[in-house]
Structure 1
Amino acid sequence: MAPPKPIRLRRSTLGDDVYDTLRALILEHSMQPGDRVNIDALARELDVSPTPVREALARLEADGLVRKRPLVGYTVSPLLTRAEFTHMFELRLLLECAAARWAAERASPEHREAIAAEAATSIAPEGDDPDGWRWHAAFTTHDARFHNLIAEASGNPLLRDGLDRLHVHLHLHRRYFPYAQAGTTGEEHQRVAAAIQAGRPDDAEEAMREHLTRARERQLPAFD
């Protein structure tokens, strides 16, 4: 008797789509920090059953973007306090300086080129964007992509995943950070990228440390 044929299951993307949608709503502050999450209302709005919404919220809780409280349910995580922000940058200085050093040592030629190309990218304001919101969002995306590329190039998947979770909390705050010195940020990115592309670990680590230290100084006034 022939063995039964294996059942081939098709992986549904519905849960991923709901997760990505809710994550974007939180990071862009359509769902505000501290807001209570109404599962049934979200399910109706997204035209899905409550099950994928609950599954997405469980993943977002693991990311630190929502919190679950007894008798209350899910709420969007609050913004970091000034002390928490400082602690986060202390950790970034440890991890991202190491990532830059390892990227300079280990990165493939393709990764080095990608990092250099991202650092050279210029985000210009648009004429039909008077409040600068679209430019702000584009600059935020560019900045996150630059740091993510370096984490990938470090060759350490655990470090990359840790930084990805860490950057989520930073991203929640980006709407409030001043970007008047975006040109300075770009120059700092280029120094980091040049050291990585040239394979100079000491210079890459020092350039990243200088960049993060200055970024922290630029962003702290948002807490005043």
Structure 2
Amino acid sequence: MSDGGRRMAALPGRQVLADGVYEQIRALIMNHGIEPGERVNIDEVARELDVSGTPVREALARLESEGLVSRLPLRGYRTTPLLTRKEVEDMYGLRLLLEPPSAATAAKAMTKAFAAELTAELASCPSAPTGDGYDGYKLLSAHDTRLHQLILRVAGNAAVEQAFSRTHCHLHFFRLSYQQPAGEQTIEEHRLIVTALIEGKAVAARKAMTEHLEIARDRLLARF
């Protein structure tokens, strides 16, 4: 890694927690500070962060579980390549099979408690971030992940919820859409979905979720 914009700010001494190291390396990957497919040198990262190699290895293990880095035998880690067009199509194909029917089921299962959770989640990200990098956009990405997971939880299918969680799709989609977020549009689409859910309108919820996923898919595919 070069010194310029890719250099990580040093964290204080030996009191650094693994979470802090993890967040800094993760931000670098998401901001393309470490390019897709590039090797991550543990010793170099530890030196730049002024920490031992242990929290760096712990952070990289967490990032490997998210599919953002992969282990190279006897050579450390490298960042994973960006999704291909086929992989994006496949991932959205899976989501379109699982999430619209789950939204319809969630609408039928709606309660006051679930409605309150959905309303609170919408309020957690009322407007799009102003920045176009990971530091600003990660708030919207985290909200997007939580909302979709919440809808799947309300639908009550644990297997679908677990399958969605394992894809870490929002992280990989963000890497593709870097510097081209469509935050306001995403939030408005979320409002339409949540409104249909709270009103118990299964057909409308399914339609809103389908359109939301198709718009997001087509926006990403345009990158290719």
Please indicate, yes or no, whether the TM-score normalized by the shorter chain is above 0.5. yes
Change (3 A) 1:41 1:189: same
**1:163 equivalent in structure 2:** 164
Cα distance in 1, alignment partners of residues 145 and 206 from structure 2: 18
Q: Is 1:67 matched with 2:77?
A: no
Higher CA-based Rg: 1
Q: Give the equivalent residue in structure 1 for 2:49.
A: 46
In the alignment, structure 2 segments of 5+ residues that lack a partner are: 1-15
Q: Report the counterpart of residue 209 of structure 2 in structure 1.
A: 208
Q: Quick check: 1:14 aligned with 2:24?
A: no
Task: For structure 1, list consecutive stretches of 5 or more residues without a partner in the other structure.
Answer: 1-12
Rounded to whole Å, the distance in 2 between the matches of 1:156 and 1:15 is 33
What's the Cα RMSD here?
A: 3.1
More divergent stretch after superposition (106-115 vs 186-195): 106-115
Query: TM-score if structure 1 supplies the norm length?
Result: 0.74
Most deviating of 26-35 and 79-88: 26-35
| Counterpart among 175, 179, 182 of residue 178 in structure 2 | 175
Determine whether 1:29 maps to 2:32.
yes
The two structures have a TM-score, normalised by structure 2, of: 0.74
Q: Deviations over 1:157-179 (max 9, x none)?
A: 44334323232222222315453
1:42-66: CA deviation from partner (whole Å, max 9, x where unpaired): 2223333212322222222222110
Cα drift, residue 97 of structure 1? 1.8
- Is structure 2 residue 219 aligned with structure 1 residue 218? yes
- How many percent identity over aligned positions? 44
User: Match for residue 58 of structure 1?
Assistant: 61
SS at match of 2:92: helix
- Tell me the equivalent position of 1:4: none
**Bigger shift: residues 70-79 or 13-22:** 13-22
C-alpha distance in structure 1 between counterparts of 2:56 and 2:101, whole Å = 37
Task: Give the count of matched residue pairs.
Answer: 206
Amino acid at match of 1:39: I
Whole-angstrom CA distance in 2 between matches of 1:124 and 1:65: 24
**1:35 and 1:78 mapped to 2: Cα distance?**
9
Q: What is the rounded CA distance, in whole Å, between the counterparts of 1:17 and 1:108 in structure 2?
A: 38
